[in-house]
Amino acid sequence: RTKCDLAPDRCCDAIAVSAKTGEGTAELLQAIREKLSGSMTSLSADTLALLPRHEHLLGKAVQCLENTEELTAAQREESTLSDEELIANELRQALDALGEIIGTISPDDVLGRVFAGFCIGK
Structural domain including 89 reads 25-116
Q: Does residue 55 lie in a domain region?
A: yes
* pLDDT, tens only, 12-56: 677 888 877 878 888 888 887 787 766 554 444 444 557 888 888
Q: Does residue 2 lie in a domain region?
A: no
Q: What's the confidence (pLDDT) of residue 63?
A: 94
Going by pLDDT thresholds of 50, 70 and 90, the confidence category of residue 121 is low
* pLDDT, tens only, 67-118: 988 888 887 777 665 678 888 899 899 988 988 888 887 667 767 777 777 6
The widest CA-to-CA distance across the chain, in whole angstroms, is: 57
Q: What's the confidence (pLDDT) of residue 61?
A: 92
Q: Does residue 14 lie in a domain region?
A: no
> Which residues contact residue 41 at a Cβ distance below 8 angstroms, ignoring those fewer than 6 apart?
none
The tally of domains found in the chain comes to 1
